[in-house]
Amino acid sequence: MTRRGFLLGAISAGASRAAARPDLGFHLTDVTGAAGIDFHHNSGAFGAKYLPETMGPGCAFLDYDGDGWLDILIVNGMDWPGHKRAPKGPRSTMCLYRNNRNGTFTDVTERAGLAVEMYGMGVAIADYNNDGFPDILVTAVGQNRLFQNTGRGHFLDVTEKAG
């Protein structure tokens, strides 16, 4: 059997399996843009194929403002040092989206004090200082960062203070 014959056979077998899928009674629709989520992950990839470039961004659902509705935090990477793709382009920061309670979200990253550029990988939410407000720990390439929720819609970087 030739490589071409093998590939053509595999493609036709896959197509016949796809045609035989049962109707599940529902379909999914991408409403990301309509919901106000405009996030673009920056892996920093430039050709060296570093391991962090192969991983997606971290994400957390939290009620940062205490209104009873889950908000969305998406962690972002950044360009590697010495390999900036667009020196005058937008900064690569995490994004905090406030739930508008109607199926849409508003980007409040700047207002919340979270427009910090770092090569973030993951995120954990906990009330580290027991004040009743969810705080944010971002794991990153390099220094992990701890952000304390002030309870007034703003976060403070307390990484150094917390040790």
Give the mean pLDDT per block of 10 residues along the chain (163 residues).
70 62 85 93 80 84 97 89 69 93 97 93 96 96 95 96 87
How far is it, in rounded angstroms, from Cα 139 to Cα 150? 20
- Could you tell me the two tokens for 112? 């919340």
Q: What is the pLDDT of residue 89?
A: 63
Q: How far apart are CA 81 and CA 132, in angstroms?
A: 38
Task: Identify the pLDDT of residue 86.
Answer: 65
Task: Please check whether residue 111 is in contact with residue 154, taking contact to mean a CB–CB distance below 8 angstroms.
Answer: yes
Residues counted in the chain? 163
* CA angle 60–157–101, rounded 5-degree value: 40
57: Cβ contacts below 8 Å, ≥ 6 apart = 39, 41, 74, 75, 76, 77, 120, 121
Whether the predicted model's global pTM rises above the 0.85 cut: no
**Structure tokens, 89:** 């382009």
Instruction: Say what the pLDDT of residue 14 is.
Output: 62
